[in-house]
Amino acid sequence: MLGLLVAILLPRAYLAVSDQGLVWADEIFQTLEQGHRLAFGYGLVPWEFRVGARSWLVPGAIGGAMKLLAAAGVGTGMGLAVALKLSFAMLAVVTFYPLLRMASALGGDFALVLLGCAACAFPASLLYSSRVLAEVASAPLVAWGVWLLLPWGMAGRACPVKIGRVVWIGGFAGGVGCLLLAGFLLGLGSVLRLQNAVMLPAIVLVVAARRGSKAAAWLAAGMAVAFALGGLLDWATWGRPFHSFIVYVRFNLLEGGANQWGIAKRDFYLRVMLATNGLAVLLLAAGFLAGLRRTWPVALLVLLYLVTFSAIPHKELRFLFPVLPLFLLCAAVGLAGLIARLPFPAGRRRAAAVGLGLGMAMLFAVRARGVTFPDIGQSMVPPEFGGPTSSLVWRAFDERNRLFEQAGRHEDLCGVAAPAMNPYWTGGYTYLHRRVPLLWSASPRDLAAANYVIVSPGQRFGDSRYRMVAQVGPYQLQRRDGACLVPPRGSAGFGRLIPFGVPGT
């Protein structure tokens, strides 16, 4: 199992270091930028953190981690970002460890190998695993919560679960401690990512039906504790219990506010899963169906999630991330069952399982290299209008973030202009990591407040005072001599994005 976990980690760790781009603005402005603002006192504030539509749980943890990293000597934006992205890549190991154990319990060694091979290179999982998103942070909580419930109805049959040092919790009062812990983890996963709450009633009902109402009550109590703590955190940070929950639900469900970022048809997730992962995903789908008899309580969660989010107008592939590991688990168990029924000797069945696993991993790895924004269902503008320089999802906007980081290293920096850029598609102060004004136009007043400019491809920037000091891809970092004037009020803002704590703005 150790080898499988290392294989799962390695590509994600590589992406955490090599890919400093972004697929969606949330991976910067809902997490890293707010953690940076908390840790260092300055950063850009999106609308969610002006009105209190998000919990401070994830940004708070990130801010604490950034403080510790800074104390340990990490002094650049790139260093902070890479360290946090690596920690999120590690969460894949934390997520798949209990699921590999669960696969072994439900489908034997065949399922263990198939799940490990699929998880190594599954494109939809690889794409987001090293990105600092609430969906990624919540996935291990969902996985561990489901695993701890294995003997209480989240499998086709009861089987023992050994949980190492915390096994005594499961043995307390007939498993009450394990039920409370499972409920708490699942509830905390919903505090991190509110959409995960759609699974909670189904989980409670399954446990009630298979192990009785008393077990379900203890499970629900653990969930309630997690939500209560989330409400208290909102009270301490936003001034009202459950403030972020209320604002988020009102904006997205009652007011339909998320629809302004796009509306998709009901078959969106089926189409993008096929486009993103290639035809090999159909093999996993077949395994998912074949294993329903044994895995139906877990498969039910995946299907419930899929149906619920298919009914919501605004759709993004990343929304499915918390249940993708559960999908891979169910598929691996189903495929293992099919292989076990082959009329071959045990050695040939074992070879078939390994061959199928390695074949899927290779197909997924090849497909992952070519995933584009249209594949995942996102429309992007051309680079000359501020879009990525390639249609590939990998390293999109990476060039500009690297130049933000390079600008932050210059001792004479007193202001940065990024004309024609949408700030939401930058790394913001997370990568710049300097307490100086950020300007978003090439007006004379803004340029007077910036001695460094990041010039985008296709942009006509002809100010003779500036000379190129660095280039990454088609982007250039240019510098002029002289000091910076105080920027005009409000020039560092962009729509709902507001600067905070930056002198002179």
Say whether both 135 and 88 belong to one domain.
yes
Give the model's pLDDT for residue 161: 52
Helix axis angle for 213-238 and 57-71, nearest 10°, is: 60
pLDDT over 90, % of the chain:
73
Asked, for residue 388, whether it belongs to a domain, the answer is no
The answer as to whether 391 is a domain residue is: no
Kindly state whether residues 307 and 435 are assigned to the same domain. Answer: no
**Among 328, 352, 369, which residue terminates a domain?**
369
Name the pLDDT band for 458 (thresholds 50, 70, 90): confident
**For residue 450, pLDDT beyond 70:** yes
For the stretch 157-209, pLDDT in tens is 444 455 444 333 333 344 788 899 999 999 999 999 999 999 999 999 999 98
CA angle 198, 119, 121 (to 5 degrees): 120
Please give the DSSP secondary-structure letter assigned to residue 31.
I
pLDDT in the model for residue 501? 37
CB atoms within 10 A of CB 239: 9
Report residue 93 as tokens: 């190991």
Residue of 148, 118, 74 whose CA lies nearest to 329: 118
Gap between the Cα atoms of 57 and 298, Å rounded: 27
Q: What is the pLDDT of residue 490?
A: 57
Q: Please compute the mean of the pLDDT values over residues 334-356 and round it to a whole number.
A: 89
The CB density around residue 441, as the number of other CB atoms within 10 Å, is 17
221 and 86 belong to one structural domain: yes
Residues 360 and 408 in one domain: no
Question: Stretch 50-70: mean pLDDT, rounded?
Answer: 95
Q: What is the pLDDT of residues 79-94, one digit of tens each?
A: 999 999 999 999 999 9
Domain-embedded: residue 386: no
- Res. 411: pLDDT tops 80: yes
Quick one: tokens of 146? 């489901």
- Is 347 part of any domain? yes
Close Cβ partners of 26 (under 8 Å, ≥ 6 residues apart): 133, 134
pLDDT of residue 176: 83
DSSP 29: I
Burial class of residue 138, CB neighbours in 10 A (0-12, 13-18, 19+): buried
In a domain, 148, yes or no: yes
Is residue 41's pLDDT more than 70?
A: yes
- Estimate to the nearest angstrom the gap between the alpha carbon of 408 and the chain centroid: 26
Measured distance CA(271)–CA(292) in Å, rounded: 22
pLDDT of residue 428 exceeding 60, the answer is yes
Mean of all residue pLDDT scores within the chain: 89
- Tell me how long the chain is: 505
Amino acid making up residue 102: M
- 290 lies in the same domain as 202: yes
Sign of CA dihedral 50, 55, 57, 61: negative
Summarize pLDDT for 279-309 with one digit per residue, the tens.
999 999 999 999 999 999 999 999 999 999 9
How many domains are contained in the chain?
Answer: 2
State the pLDDT at residue 173: 41
Nearest to 116 by CA among 196, 10, 44, 239: 10
Give the pLDDT of residue 500.
41
Residue 384 lies in a domain: no
End-of-domain residue from the set 353, 369, 385 = 369
**Shared-domain flag, residues 124 and 240:** yes
The letter for the amino acid at 140 is P
Q: Do both 349 and 492 map to the same domain?
A: no
Helices (H), 175-238: 176-192, 200-211, 213-238
Phi, psi of 170 (to 5 degrees): -65, -30
Predicted pLDDT at 386: 84
Looking at per-residue confidence, does 484 or 500 come out higher? 484
Match 């340029």 to its residue by tokens. Answer: 447
Q: Are residue 304 and residue 410 in the same domain, yes or no?
A: no
Residue 385's pLDDT is 81
Any bridge partners for residue 467, and if so which?
Answer: 479
- Cβ-contact 456, 420 below 8 angstroms: yes
Nearest in space to 479 (alpha carbons), one of 398, 384, 412: 412
User: Which of 351, 369, 387 delimits the end of a domain?
Assistant: 369
Which pLDDT does position 345 carry in this prediction? 86
Query: If DSSP codes are grouped into helix, strand and coil, which group holds residue 477?
Result: strand
* Secondary structure of residue 426 in the 3-state scheme: coil
Query: Pairing between strand 475-479 and 438-439?
Result: unpaired
Structure tokens at 233: 């955190």
Question: Poorest-confidence range of 127-131, 147-151, 239-243?
Answer: 147-151
Q: Where are the alpha helices (DSSP H) in 239-323?
A: 243-249, 268-277, 280-290, 292-311
In angstroms, rounded to a whole number, what is the distance separating the alpha carbons of residues 379 and 57?
31
198: amino acid identity, one letter: V
Range of the domain at 256: 2-49+56-369
Model confidence at 155, in pLDDT bands (50, 70, 90)? low
So what's the pLDDT on residue 150? 85
The closest alpha carbon to 499, from 155, 55, 1, 29, belongs to 29
| Helix (H), strand (E) counts: the chain | 21, 7
Q: Order the strands of the 475-479 sheet from edge to edge.
A: 438-439, 416-417, 452-455, 475-479, 467-472
Is residue 385 included in any domain, yes or no? no
Within 13 A of 152's CA, how many CA atoms are on the CB side? Answer: 29
Integer Cα distance of 61 and 47 in angstroms? 20
| Whether residue 350 is found in the same domain as residue 445 | no
Question: Does the predicted TM-score (pTM) go above 0.85?
Answer: yes
Residue with tokens 């190594």: 120
pLDDT at 496 over 50: no
Q: Of residues 460 and 115, which shows the higher confidence score?
A: 115
Question: Average of pLDDT values for 125-148?
Answer: 95
| Residue 147 shares a structural domain with residue 293 | yes
Checking if the pLDDT of 406 tops 60, the result is: yes
d(CA 342, CA 109): 15
Q: In angstroms, rounded to a whole number, what is the distance separating the alpha carbons of residues 225 and 208? A: 19
In this model, does residue 491 exceed pLDDT 60? no
Predicted confidence at residue 482, as pLDDT, reads 92
Instruction: Provide the pLDDT for residue 152.
Output: 64
**pLDDT average, residue stretch 349-373:** 94
Greater model confidence, 343 or 80: 80
Confidence of residue 497 (pLDDT cuts 50, 70, 90): low
On whether both 354 and 429 belong to a single domain, the answer is: no
Q: What is the rounded (10 degree) CA torsion for 270, 272, 274, 275?
A: 160
Q: What percent of the chain is modeled with pLDDT above 70?
A: 92
CA dihedral 479, 485, 488, 491 (to 10 degrees): 20
Residue 351 and residue 417 in one domain: no
**Dist. CA 232–CA 114, nearest whole Å:** 42
Q: Report the distance separating Cα 114 and Cα 322, nearest Å.
A: 20
Strand 467-472 relative to strand 475-479: parallel, antiparallel, unpaired? antiparallel
Q: Does residue 389 sit within a domain?
A: no
